[in-house]
Chains A and B, each alone.
Chain A
Amino acid sequence: MADLSRTAAIVGVAESDEIGTVPNKSSLQHHMEAAANALDDAGLTKSDVDGLFTAGYSTYATGDYLGIKPRFTDSTTVGGSSFIIHIAHAIAAINAGWCEVALITHGQAGRSNRAPQPADPSLPTLQYEIPYGFIGQPINYAMGATRYMHQYGEERTRQALAEIAVSTRKWALMNPKAAMKDPMSFEDYHNSRWIAWPFHLFDCCLVTDAGAAVVVTSAERARSAKKPPVWVLGAAESHDHLGISTMPDLTSSVSRHTGPAALGMAGLTHSDIDLAMIYDSFTYTVLITLEGLGFCGPGEGPDFVAGQRTAPGGDFPMNTSGGGLSYTHPGMYGIFLIIEAVRQLRGECGERQVPDCGISLVNGTGGALSSTGTVVLARD
């Protein structure tokens, strides 16, 4: 395989103008605002964009709305990890000469959307899962957590889920853009209502309205960007099922492939990572992703996150934006992980800045724990 490490860089990142509860804006408007903001962050304009990437919508919808006629398009849609995977595809496209300035956009009025998309009844999930009420990811992921508790112990798993929820909220309190503004105690976590046992409310991500965009370009072009480039050192993608009932092992995230592959491409090991941005659709997602990525072994996640290790001041900074649990999560969240990693690597995070943050590993998870995309990013 060609060595594409450090051949492209992220030069622009941004959210849409307002995120959270935004009833007066459509999903596509969130795309457009975020695109304009990210291009501004990069010091580029719309006319520079020749590669267009999105998920959920096809790029012919976003291209039309944004008024962009790309010469490279990618609408890969594998859930919330898609945008991490788009970075891998953008690197390949840039190196192949298919495009030079890749714009990845996302927008989702997850909270205020007026017309949810109907699903295709020929999908196996529609036929075999949905009739039983396997509707919405809290229910699907909860079944994964139950299996994990069976294999590795209910009490220690419960404590781990609480550790993740509480530590993530602490980071959110330092992010002015975070939806959740109040502190969360362990007691608050345990007392929050049941959504789908074993998940409390505070095991589950938010549902917000939000957009985000990321600009990726060639090494040469990145040198003249407005801000220091953030290099893509490694990238990998995979998926191993669609619905939760066909997941090969409900306690093992497919990040077990993408983590080692991305780190291998980067030529780095776990101890090189200063910041972990781990998709937290649910507390449980984080637990098995840390294991899959190889930060710890199967069943060791509860020990790894113990003692608020991932909180501000802990020795393993994680999800410093406040995550999908406490910052924002419009439905597909992966692109927001990239935004925070880039801001941390640029040193733009103020009160929540991770000291001397040089390398970040970003892992997105999509669907019913179905897909992952991992990238390793580094400052200039």
Chain B
Amino acid sequence: MTQQPYSKPLPTPQPESDFYWEKTKEHELWLRYCNECNQAYFYPRDICPVCFSRNTTWVQASGKGTLHTFAIVHRAPTPAFRDDAPFVVAIVDLEEGPRMPTNLVEVEPDPSAIHVGMPVEVVFEDVTEEITLPKFKPAG
């Protein structure tokens, strides 16, 4: 069976996010952390967006979080998403504090099956040889 080429939009890693995307390829989720604020933030930037400190580092996230909000996309926004619709776009509150955009997968795309605040955990989709997207599913 030949695989369909991946036609949905892909991220173009930037200098400050190469590490993030390298780690997702290893099925790990890493966050940028400010040693002055003592908190993680998303998305990755070398300089802390809260206090402008350069005293920042990378920390590995647990991959656990809760669902902050979601929508169930019925009308595919581009032809590449047609086979996926209906699918779930979501924003997740990570255990470490930051919020991140993602898809909620391995769930019925039905509002009765999805609840704001439900526990979720990260899964990794190797969408191309170069890019792995972190997504979330209901926590088991």
A128 within 8 A of B: yes
- Give the interface residue-count category, chain A: 35 or more
Q: Are A146 and B101 within 8 A (Cβ)?
A: no
Select the stretch in A61-69, A80-88, A194-202, A290-298 that faces chain B. Answer: A194-202
Contact with A along B72-100 (1 / 0, CB 8 A): 11110110010010110111000000011
A144 within 8 A of B: yes
Beta-carbon contact of B100 and A139 below 8 Å: no
A58 close to chain B: CB less than 8 A: no
Taking CB atoms and an 8 Å cut-off, the chain B residues in 1-48 that contact chain A are 8-14, 17, 42-43
Query: Are the CB atoms of B14 and A146 closer together than 8 Å?
Result: no
Contact A147 B72, CB 8 Å, known A127-B11, A131-B10, A139-B77: no
Residue of A nearest to B101 (CB): A245
B61 located at the interface, meaning its Cβ lies under 8 Å from any Cβ of chain A in the complex: no
Other-chain contact of B77, A126, A133, A145, A197 (Cβ < 8 Å): A133
> Does A143 lie within 8 Å of B89, measured CB to CB?
yes
In the bound complex, do residue A122 and residue B14 qualify as a contact, i.e. CB atoms below 8 Å apart? Answer: yes
Asked if A131 and B73 make an inter-chain contact with CB atoms under 8 angstroms apart, the answer reads no
**Which A residues are CB-close (under 8 A) to B99?**
245-246
**Chain A positions 13 through 38: 1 when the CB is less than 8 Å from some CB of chain B, otherwise 0:** 00000000000000000000000000
| Interface: A114 (CB within 8 A) | no
Determine which of B77, B86, B116 lies in contact with A135 in the assembled complex, contact meaning CB atoms within 8 Å. Answer: B77
How far, in angstroms, from A122 to B17 measured CA to CA in the complex?
Answer: 10
Question: B14, B78, B84: which contacts A127 (Cβ < 8 A)?
Answer: B14
A261 located at the interface, meaning its Cβ lies under 8 Å from any Cβ of chain B in the complex: no
B57 contacts the other chain (CB 8 A): no
B111 to A197, Cβ gap below 8 A?
A: yes
CA distance A139 to B103 in the complex (A): 12
Please pick, from B9, B17, B68, B102, the residue contacting A147 in the complex, using a CB distance under 8 A: B68
**CB 8 Å contact bits of A176-205 with B (1 = contact, 0 = none):** 000000000000000001111111000000
B89 contacts across to A, CB distance below 8 A: 132-134, 139, 143, 196
Q: Which residues of B contact A144 (CB under 8 A)?
A: 69
Are A127's CB and B91's CB within 8 A?
A: no
Task: Determine whether the beta carbon of A136 is less than 8 Å from that of B77.
Answer: yes
- The residues of B that contact A235 with a CB separation of less than 8 Å are none
State A197–B70 Cα separation when bound (angstroms): 9
A150 and B69 contact, CB distance less than 8 A? yes
How distant is A378 from chain B, measured CB to nearest CB, in Å?
A: 39
Interface centre among A130, A194, A196, A243 (most CB of B within 10 A): A196
A139-B71, A197-B111 known; A132 vs B103 contact (CB < 8 Å): yes
**Is A196's CB under 8 angstroms from B101's CB?**
no
Contact residue among A134, A195, A198 (Cβ-Cβ distance under 8 Å from B101)? A134
Cross-chain contact B11 with A198 (CB below 8 angstroms): no
From known contacts A132-B133, A133-B87, A147-B116, infer whether A121 and B74 are also in contact, taking CB-CB under 8 Å: no
A: which residues have CB within 8 A of B? Answer: 121-122, 124, 126-136, 138-139, 142-147, 150, 193-199, 243-246, 250
20 pairs, CB–CB < 8 Å, chain A vs chain B: A126-B11, A127-B11, A128-B42, A128-B100, A131-B9, A132-B101, A132-B133, A133-B77, A136-B77, A139-B73, A139-B89, A142-B71, A144-B69, A146-B70, A150-B116, A194-B74, A196-B72, A196-B75, A197-B72, A246-B99
Known A-B contacts: A126-B12, A197-B74, A245-B100. Give 11 more (CB < 8 A).
A121-B11, A127-B12, A132-B101, A132-B103, A139-B71, A139-B73, A145-B71, A193-B74, A198-B111, A243-B101, A244-B91
